[in-house]
């Protein structure tokens, strides 16, 4: 395609005259610069005209080459043995030798010629022109020393100019003597802390920071600068390396609390298993000494699954911003620290980056600090990644990347200060790559010479950064040797005194390491204020009101889909008949807690409409693009906001964000006749991210009902890391309560092995209740059992019970994760409806729904009791009726599977003393619930009666994809369930 642009007529005349050998007159706009050209021997005579233009264009290309590729030759490796970009090739357009001037058609004789500088560089400072020699010198100083800049891929010109000005302006990287002394003192603390631990506990793992001690002053610089710009709360996530140092010197955890962690005789005071010291987190409020402003710092606890904490931090940051009304991220921010191997290798990093600019997930910019050891455990970076740098993943979101040699502390401090300013100015992510080394092995007990002999020979020769910097400051008179030694002695004395105090510690309180406290929710000892839960029913008036709003469009002139009109009409009819289906029961649960001031968040793939087109919480105008309405935000004049958001295709991070306007965020109504404009996400994030993000959000406050729904329950398996390491065990390891709700569509309906099972057996296997212990039944047994468990697993068979379990989640005096196996076909099953009578004031969640039909009237005549859970109940009831066995077979539903309702099931078992006991499930025998419920039933009956299995045979796949095979297996186990002679002569 030919470009339609052409040069202005004035330039056209200039070039035609020059080519014809005539006098060439500069265009009018350059007349003022003619004297400049003449004074430097560059008057546009015919022979020189084209040379002048070509040389100036060449110089502009040269400047641009340094801006784009200068980082490839920057001196980034403190060891001087590796190229940070894994490539020793020097770009041919960088002037590393004089002969390379020829690339641009320039010569050594041009070095002293003066050239006009373009507007896309700031190397001139106050000067508009420089000699070529000076241009190259300044470009090398900016781009090829201890800082390597990657930013020219950014699409926004203003942002590129901002970075150029920050780094190219002459003299920008200068520090006052006071700043240098502060930096030295921080380096002293960082290095002497590691030295102290090494002396006292030489054989203990601590994952020290040696080789990157500059990270501590780097983080403090970021926090100082951010505090100066108004940040009040910083939430941090990091791996294990350097965590103890960060806790001590950045968060300011008491040193004796850290040192006592090394005592093998220390007894744990809290319930739970605890965790190793280099996984623990901390929350602390203090005064920032640099700004004299209050700052709150939270370092999130993290398992050894590197980078898993990233979405958790982002979720918590988003929540804290929301609760403070900080829509622009000017008060709350996040800092994520990474290792180089994990940053390049872990997919969750990429997924987290892709949330950074989504309206529903953004935290308005995160500062990423990469501790680039140039090694991953024993793996050479050349074997660990295909990209030049470990940080290249950040380029996908146009985040600038600042590489810096960690042995140049002043360069590091300047880069970190600019990073903090960038985040505050543009509300976008930024990466600081601290190119350093690891003085010891992967841990203090590891021998790195086995695999990296040459690297570690050099490391053993390496002068520590503290000595280098101290010698420099002493040489230039900034500090004296005596002052330096006094600073070291002062911190050593602080450590020794803390060590002495730590010997008095006999008990370890994990709650002192809590990263997300909930002030006022628990009592002073961190215990629940009561061990009771009020009834979860609500008034009929409230049920009717919510039903009416749920079946209406609360804004004027809003055209909805005709199919949706039928759905709303059906809701209205149900409300009139005092009935609810699954979707309406959920609506009433959410709406009622909103009235009580509890914020509700529902996220997941397609949750606005519902995977099965049952929910419709966001209405779309059929005639106006992007015009939407959320009726749930129109329930009450004063209510908490409701957030519903379609998430990205990421289970790992369970992300979701806000989908309402400012008025809704404050709990108010929109003006009549105006639609609620929901914010639409730009893209769809992933499941690991989603689970982590929502988990982080739920950490921020106990007064929120945070739900994540999988498109199908099967898909939660890509979030298994978050489920295993955070949700299942978070309280045991870190004394961290969390009330997140996972909604997992589940049911064998012939939809294939990936759309059938939420794998309940996995959740039950990780439940911490003892299958062999018969509990003592007390008045508070139900609530106490919930308090002692690590999470709650339910499979409700009625809309009313689903309503109650959601409300109970908020009304409990503590928080536990709730796993709900939600239905698919029951969403529209004609029998799966509940009456208002099951939801009105005074009603509660039913952990067990006993038989209420003819069999219950004459229990001694019952020959078999079938226990089941979930959807299979409806199959069983239908079959029992068809075989006319309603007096001989009782069917009892187990609604709460874990913790196991021993008390209620004992009543049921005692009611039918002579009946066969059968557990029936639609899942395969090696899946589902049987392995969990069997030993517990046996404990109740003191192992005197068998609990027979009825269901599908064991299988490696969760379900069949063949419809006929599905129906045949269903028919087979239903026949067995109602064959009263099926178990005669068999041994249990």
Instruction: Find where tokens 């009020």 sit.
Output: 534
Summarize pLDDT for 884-915 with one digit per residue, the tens: 999 999 999 999 999 999 999 999 999 999 99
Q: List Cα–Cα distances, 528 to 327, 549, 597, 698, in angstroms.
A: 33, 36, 20, 18
Between vectors from CA 762 to CA 756 and to CA 768, what angle results, nearest 5°? 145
Residue ranges of E strands in 651-730: 651-653, 704-709
Please list, in sequence order, all residues whose beta carbon lies within 8 angstroms of the beta carbon of residue 269, skipping any fewer than 6 positions away. 507, 508, 509, 510
Summarize pLDDT for 470-505 with one digit per residue, the tens: 999 999 999 999 999 999 999 999 999 999 998 887
Query: Residue 829: which region, alpha, beta or left (left: phi > 0; alpha: psi -120 to 50)?
Result: beta
Residue 650 DSSP one-character state: B
Sign for the CA dihedral angle at 142, 148, 153, 154 comes to: negative
What integer pLDDT is reported at residue 686 of this predicted model? 54
Neighbours of 945 (CB within 10 A): 17
Asked if 50 and 18 touch (Cβ cutoff 8 Å), the reply is yes
CA distance 455 to 78: 11
Three-state DSSP string of 748-759: CCCCCCCCCCCC
Dihedral of the CA atoms 878, 879, 882, 887 (nearest 10)? -90
User: Which one, of 64, 262, 283, lies nearest residue 734 by Cα?
Assistant: 283
Task: Tell me the CB-side half-sphere exposure of residue 312, using CA atoms within 13 A.
Answer: 29
CA distance 175 to 187: 16
What integer pLDDT is reported at residue 255 of this predicted model? 92
CA distance 72 to 58: 21
Q: List Cα–Cα distances, 902 to 394, 767, 846, 847, 850, in angstroms.
A: 52, 15, 13, 10, 14
CA distance 284 to 901: 40
What integer pLDDT is reported at residue 712 of this predicted model? 87
What integer pLDDT is reported at residue 384 of this predicted model? 84
Residue ranges of E strands in 251-350: 267-268, 282-288, 293-299, 332-339
Summarize pLDDT for 213-265 with one digit per residue, the tens: 999 999 999 999 999 999 999 999 999 999 999 999 999 999 998 898 888 77
CA distance 949 to 944: 16
What integer pLDDT is reported at residue 19 of this predicted model? 54
CA distance 874 to 849: 13
State the pTM of this model: 0.89
What integer pLDDT is reported at residue 498 of this predicted model? 94
Return the axis-axis angle of helices 9-19 and 46-69, rounded to nearest 10°.
120
Q: Which residues of the chain have pLDDT under 70?
A: 1-47, 268-272, 648-690
Instruction: Find where tokens 């807690």 sit.
Output: 593
What integer pLDDT is reported at residue 154 of this predicted model? 97
CA distance 655 to 354: 11
CB contact burial 103-115 (16+ within 10 A = b; e otherwise): bbebeeebbebbb
Summarize pLDDT for 67-89 with one digit per residue, the tens: 999 999 999 999 998 888 888 88
The pair of three-digit structure tokens given for residue 649, joined into one six-digit string: 């295709």
What integer pLDDT is reported at residue 166 of this predicted model? 98
In the beta sheet, which residues pair with residue 646?
A: 604
Neighbours of 21 (CB within 10 A): 10
User: Which one, of 757, 545, 745, lies nearest residue 636 by Cα?
Assistant: 545
The pair of three-digit structure tokens given for residue 961, joined into one six-digit string: 């994809």
Instruction: Find where tokens 């960038």 sit.
Output: 422
Residue by residue, DSSP assigns 417-437 as HHHHHHHHHH---EEEEEE--
End-to-end CA distance of the chain: 81
Pairing of the two strands 267-268 and 507-508: parallel
């Amino acid at each position: 395609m030919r470009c339609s642009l052409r040069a202005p007529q004035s330039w056209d005349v200039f070039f035609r005259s020059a080519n014809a050998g005539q006098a060439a007159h500069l265009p009018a706009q350059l007349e003022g610069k003619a004297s400049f050209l003449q004074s430097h021997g560059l008057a546009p005579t015919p022979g020189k005209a084209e040379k002048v233009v070509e040389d100036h264009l060449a110089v502009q290309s040269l400047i641009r080459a340094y801006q784009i590729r200068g980082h490839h030759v920057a001196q980034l490796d403190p060891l001087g043995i590796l190229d940070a970009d894994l490539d020793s090739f020097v770009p041919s357009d960088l002037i590393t030798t004089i002969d390379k001037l020829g690339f641009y058609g320039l010569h050594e004789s041009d070095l002293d010629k003066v050239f006009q500088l373009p507007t896309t560089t700031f190397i001139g400072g106050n000067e508009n022109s420089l000699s070529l020699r000076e241009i190259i010198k300044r470009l090398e100083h900016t781009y090829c020393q201890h800082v390597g800049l990657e930013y020219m891929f950014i699409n926004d010109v203003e942002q590129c100019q901002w970075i150029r000005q920050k780094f190219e302006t002459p003299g920008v990287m200068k520090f006052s003597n006071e700043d240098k002394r502060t930096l030295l003192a921080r380096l002293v603390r960082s290095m002497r802390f590691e030295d102290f631990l090494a002396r006292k506990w030489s054989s203990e793992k601590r994952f020290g920071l040696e080789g990157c001690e500059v990270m501590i002053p780097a983080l403090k610089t970021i926090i100082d600068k951010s505090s100066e710009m108004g940040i009040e709360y910083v939430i941090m996530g990091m791996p294990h390396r350097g965590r103890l140092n960060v806790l001590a010197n950045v968060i300011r955890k008491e040193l004796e609390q850290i040192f006592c962690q090394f005592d093998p005789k220390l007894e744990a005071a809290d319930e739970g298993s605890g965790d190793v010291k280099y996984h623990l987190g901390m929350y602390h409020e203090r005064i920032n000494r640099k700004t004299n402003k209050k700052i709150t710092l939270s370092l999130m606890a993290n398992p050894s699954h590197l980078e898993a904490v990233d979405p958790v931090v982002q979720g918590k940051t988003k929540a804290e911003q929301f609760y403070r009304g900080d829509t622009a991220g000017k008060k709350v921010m996040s800092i994520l620290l990474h290792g180089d191997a994990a940053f390049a290798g872990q997919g969750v990093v990429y997924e987290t980056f892709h949330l950074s600019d989504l309206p529903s997930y953004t935290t308005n910019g995160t500062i990423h600090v990469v501790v680039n050891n140039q090694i991953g455990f024993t793996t050479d970076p050349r074997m660990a990644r295909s990209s030049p740098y470990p940080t290249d993943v950040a380029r996908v979101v146009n985040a600038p990347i600042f590489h810096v040699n960690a042995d140049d502390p002043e360069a590091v401090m300047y880069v970190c200060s600019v990073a903090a300013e960038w985040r505050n100015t543009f509300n976008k992510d930024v990466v600081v790559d601290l190119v350093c080394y690891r003085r010891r092995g992967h841990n203090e007990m590891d021998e790195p010479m086995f695999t990296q002999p040459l690297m570690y020979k050099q490391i053993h020769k390496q002068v520590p950064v503290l000595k280098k910097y101290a010698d420099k400051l002493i040489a230039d008179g900034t500090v004296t040797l005596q002052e330096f030694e006094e600073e070291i002695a002062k911190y050593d004395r602080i450590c020794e005194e803390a060590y002495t105090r730590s010997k008095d510690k006999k008990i370890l309180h994990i709650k002192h390491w809590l990263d997300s406290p909930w002030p006022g929710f628990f009592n002073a000892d961190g215990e629940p204020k009561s061990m009771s839960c009020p009834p979860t029913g609500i008034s009929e008036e409230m049920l009717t009101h919510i039903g009416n709003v749920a079946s209406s469009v609360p804004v004027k002139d809003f055209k909805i889909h005709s199919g949706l009109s039928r759905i709303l009409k059906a809701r209205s009819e149900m409300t009139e008949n005092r009935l609810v289906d699954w979707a309406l029961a959920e609506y009433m649960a959410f709406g009622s807690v909103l009235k009580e001031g509890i914020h509700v968040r529902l996220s997941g793939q397609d949750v606005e409409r519902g995977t099965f087109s049952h929910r419709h919480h966001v209405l779309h105008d059929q005639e106006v693009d992007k015009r939407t309405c959320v009726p749930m935000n129109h329930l009450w004049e004063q209510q908490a906001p409701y957030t519903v958001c379609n998430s990205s295709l990421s289970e790992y991070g369970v992300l979701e964000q806000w989908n309402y306007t400012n008025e809704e965020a404050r709990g108010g109504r929109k003006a009549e006749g105006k639609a609620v404009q929901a914010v639409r996400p730009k893209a769809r994030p992933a499941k690991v991210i989603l689970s982590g993000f929502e988990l982080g959000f739920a950490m921020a406050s106990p007064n929120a009902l945070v739900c994540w729904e999988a498109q199908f329950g099967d898909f939660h398996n890509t979030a298994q890391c978050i489920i295993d390491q955070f949700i299942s065990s978070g309280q045991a390891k870190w004394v961290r309560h969390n009330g997140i709700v996972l909604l997992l569509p589940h049911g064998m309906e012939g939809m294939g092995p990936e759309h059938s099972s939420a794998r309940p057996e996995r959740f039950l296997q990780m439940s911490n209740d003892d299958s062999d212990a018969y509990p003592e039944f007390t008045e508070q047994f139900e609530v106490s059992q919930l308090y002692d468990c690590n999470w709650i697993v339910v499979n409700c068979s009625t809309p009313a019970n689903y309503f109650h379990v959601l409300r109970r989640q908020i009304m409990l005096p503590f928080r536990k994760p709730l796993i709900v196996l939600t239905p698919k076909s029951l969403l529209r099953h004609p029998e799966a409806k509940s009456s208002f009578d099951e939801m009105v004031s005074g009603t509660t969640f039913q952990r067990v729904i006993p038989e209420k039909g003819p069999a219950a009237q004459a229990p001694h005549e019952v020959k078999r009791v079938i226990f089941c859970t979930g959807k299979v109940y409806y199959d069983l009831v239908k079959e029992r009726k068809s075989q006319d066995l309603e007096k001989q077979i009782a069917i009892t539903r187990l609604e709460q599977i874990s913790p196991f309702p021993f008390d209620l099931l004992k009543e049921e078992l005692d009611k039918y003393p002579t009946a066969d006991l059968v557990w029936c499930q639609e899942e395969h025998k090696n899946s589902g619930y049987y392995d969990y419920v069997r030993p517990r039933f046996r404990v109740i009956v003191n192992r005197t009666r068998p609990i027979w299995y009825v269901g599908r045979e064991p299988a490696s796949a969760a379900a069949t994809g063949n419809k006929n095979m599905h129906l045949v297996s269903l028919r087979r186990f239903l026949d067995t369930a109602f064959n009263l002679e099926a178990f005669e002569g068999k041994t249990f």
